[in-house]
Amino acid sequence: MASLWLDSRNAIETDPFEEGAEYDEVVVGAGLTGLTAALLFARAGRRVAVLEARRIGSVTTGNTTAKLTVLQGARLQEVRSHSYRSILEAYVEAQLEGQQWLMRYADDHGIPIQRRDAVSYATSEHGADVIDREYAIARDVDLPVELRKDAGLPFETSRALVLRDQAQFDPMDVLAALAADVRAHGGVIIEDVRVTGAKASKPAKVRTTRGEVLAGHVILATGIPILDRGLYFAKLQPRRSYGLAFDAPGPLPQGMYISVDSPSRTIRTAPGDGPEKLIVGGNGHVVGRAASPKALVDDLEDWTAEHFPGAVRTHAWSAQDYRTPHRVPFVGWLPRGLGRIYLATGYDKWGMTNAVACALTLASDILGGHMPWATTLHRRITTPAAMLSGAYMNAQVAAWYAKGYWKALTERLPEEAADEGQGIVGRDGLRPVARSTVAGVDCSLSAICPHQHGIVTWNDQELSWDCPLHGSRFGADGTLLEGPATVGLRPLE
């Protein structure tokens, strides 16, 4: 089901693809990172093209919860425990700059934005300790947070941390304005063109599903980078979570809330045609590793019914974002890209500020500029804690790789088709096969992800095949949806 933001949204005007065209910057991906970066380049008089595999906003930005805040759950202590104090300070400055840029942009372009207090809350004693630590760290970096017992939610909380006057919006309003602005500054935005590779020659050659284009610089704003140089896929953990919108009897709580306990819960409202909608999100997990995503959505709905009686679900959606071992985004030039290929990734569900901060960083790297916080973040040194976190991520990947092949090669694929809405993986001869039935269509595919050869698992909520290694996702017919893969699952006879 489409998100509240993408549902009934009119198509955004874009441009035709021109094979062989040469640009100063080719930005790959039309989410918040790509369009903000493209605008910064276009404003500087550069010839810019944005190449988008699907539609503007169709992956994470159009499926976010769009809370624009510097108070990000327990993020500050996560950054601090995986990095040095100077990195934490630079991270906070980056968040403030990203937030201010976006707020100013919204004000200047008449984009509706609601000022709201951001609230991190706990319901357990352990969570209260987390909040206390976040309070101390936030105060230490001069964020004017306030500690409270009551979060102002219709259930009991053990502690709450408040940062006033943050913001929320409809992310598609922002993307539509950025896209129009890029085009008004002479840039082009092309949808339905997937980049499949890039050669760091001078100019760089960008291979796409519709032919080649040339670029002075290539910016990978694709969520997880689609080129394997630098092995970023092995340094990122793809994490998926769920969003639900409800018609709910008011009055509704007016903050933007996120729990620090597990399972996570995020709550905000959104203006609608009539009364405000209630948005509830959470139940995140590593992509492809939940036994039943549908059960997680049902659980969120039950939780909402318990705490907001009378709420009626109108939308359910999900999306993924990428976590780095040190909890700070990766941004800058790609190794072996000869200074011509750049990337930005790893926002870990705090991309409204981070995407803009990374776009500002990329523009400053390429056009020249000086932002002390960006220099500090570029010079980040990996700490033992971050190394441990990365090693753990990769041990889990190895375990899922083995688990996938064990299942695929020891369980025989049943003769009969899967039940409607279900997918099964099993062995057919020596081939691992993924077989699903969706809308009555029985489809058999290779179960091997074309990226790093993991065995895909069935997502019973999205009716998709998801790779538990690095987060590539495919439709029931094998079409590539998102992630580091650049081609779909191979169909079988």
Ligand X SMILES: Cc1cc2nc3c(=O)[nH]c(=O)nc-3n(C[C@H](O)[C@H](O)[C@H](O)COP(=O)(O)OP(=O)(O)OC[C@H]3O[C@@H](n4cnc5c(N)ncnc54)[C@H](O)[C@@H]3O)c2cc1C
Q: How far is the CB of 312 from ligand X (least distance, A)?
A: 21
Of 226 and 445, CB closest to ligand X: 226
Q: List, as one string, the DSSP characters of 435-470.
A: EEEETTEEEEEE-B-TTT-PBPEEETTTTEEE-TTT
Pairing of strands 237-247, 48-51: unpaired
Of 200 and 221, CB closest to ligand X: 221
Of 23 and 435, CB closest to ligand X: 23
Of 6 and 445, CB closest to ligand X: 6
Write the single-letter amino acid at 433. Answer: V
Write the single-letter amino acid at 431. Answer: R
Angstrom distance (rounded) from CA 385 to CA 26: 36
**Nearest Cα to Cα of residue 51 among 227, 222, 205:** 222
Q: How far is the CB of 435 from ligand X (least distance, A)?
A: 26
Of 418 and 489, CB closest to ligand X: 489
Residue nearest to ligand X (CB): 351
Q: Which residues bind ligand X (CB under 6 A)?
A: 28-34, 51-54, 58-61, 64-67, 194-195, 221-223, 226, 241, 243, 281, 319-321, 347, 349-353, 355, 486
Angstrom distance (rounded) from CA 316 to CA 160: 27
Q: How far is the CB of 481 from ligand X (least distance, A)?
A: 9
Q: How far is the CB of 241 from ligand X (least distance, A)?
A: 4
Write the single-letter amino acid at 346. Answer: G
Q: Which residues lie below 8 Å from residue 491, measured CB to CB, with a gap of 6+?
A: 443, 444, 445, 446, 477, 478
Whether the CB-CB separation of 362 and 43 falls below 8 Å is answered with no
Q: How far is the CB of 418 from ligand X (least distance, A)?
A: 27
Of 32 and 42, CB closest to ligand X: 32
Q: Which two tokens stand for residue 241?
A: 């979570």
Whether the CB-CB separation of 158 and 149 falls below 8 Å is answered with yes
Q: How far is the CB of 5 from ligand X (least distance, A)?
A: 11
Give, to the nearest 10 degrees, the angle between helix 351-367 and helix 85-108: 90
Residue 241 CB coordination number (10 Å): 22
Of 221 and 341, CB closest to ligand X: 221
Residue 470 CB coordination number (10 Å): 24
Q: How far is the CB of 377 from ligand X (least distance, A)?
A: 16
